Amino acid sequence: MCYIIHSGLLQARRDTDEVVISRLGVPNIMGITNLLPKSDTGLFLETLSECEIAITTAEQAQKWIGELNAWELLANHISRLATNLFINNVMLTAPTAYEVMRFQLISLMREPEHVRAKISAVKYIQERTRLSRSTIMKILAQLRQGGYIELDDGVLKALNHLPAKY
């Protein structure tokens, strides 16, 4: 299936462990490339706000793209997906737990304020990495003590020049 996301806030999660793979910006289209097996993608979409989503088959969406001669738009979309996958790979394969967390804290800070206000930094990082809660808590406490981050009841309020190395 192909999901055309007109409005709202969504994220893609992995079925097996519910790790957040990506936050989906709008407008967006998911499933257009038809690269994943039809029976089981291993992913599910989670809505985080009220959303407007049109659903069709990938074949029908590709037919419309052909009829509208929207190949350049599709190429730009797929290029953005490839870039995001590369960035996610870099973030998750950083050499140290701190560097993984640093990437996640920067990503969290880039989220809209209303999103940041609803999720603790610990939960945000845990949902996107395989780091243990104790490791996350230890590093956050040290960053807070050093004045590198500001947390209020676990919610990230500010980043104050995170060091590149821990």
| Residue 41: predicted pLDDT | 65
Residue 46: half-sphere exposure toward Cβ, Cα within 13 Å:
14
C-beta atoms surrounding 73 within 10 Å? 12
pLDDT of residue 136: 97
- Top CATH class, 97-159: mainly alpha
Q: With 80 as the cut, is the pLDDT of residue 40 above it? A: no
pLDDT single digits (tens) 62-121: 999 999 999 999 999 889 888 888 887 887 788 899 999 999 999 999 998 988 999 999
Distance CA 132, CA 55 (A): 37
What's the pLDDT at 107? Answer: 92
What pTM, to 2 d.p., does this model score?
0.74
Which part of the chain has CATH 1.10.10?
A: 97-159
Q: Which stretches of 26-71 are assigned E, i.e. beta strand?
A: 28-30, 43-47, 52-56
pLDDT, residue 166, reads 79
Contacts of 90 (CB under 8 A, 6+ apart): 103
pLDDT value of residue 109: 96
What tokens were used for 108?
Answer: 């969290």
Residue 22: band (very low, low, confident or very high) from pLDDT cuts 50, 70, 90: confident
pLDDT tens, residue by residue, 129-142? 989 999 999 999 99
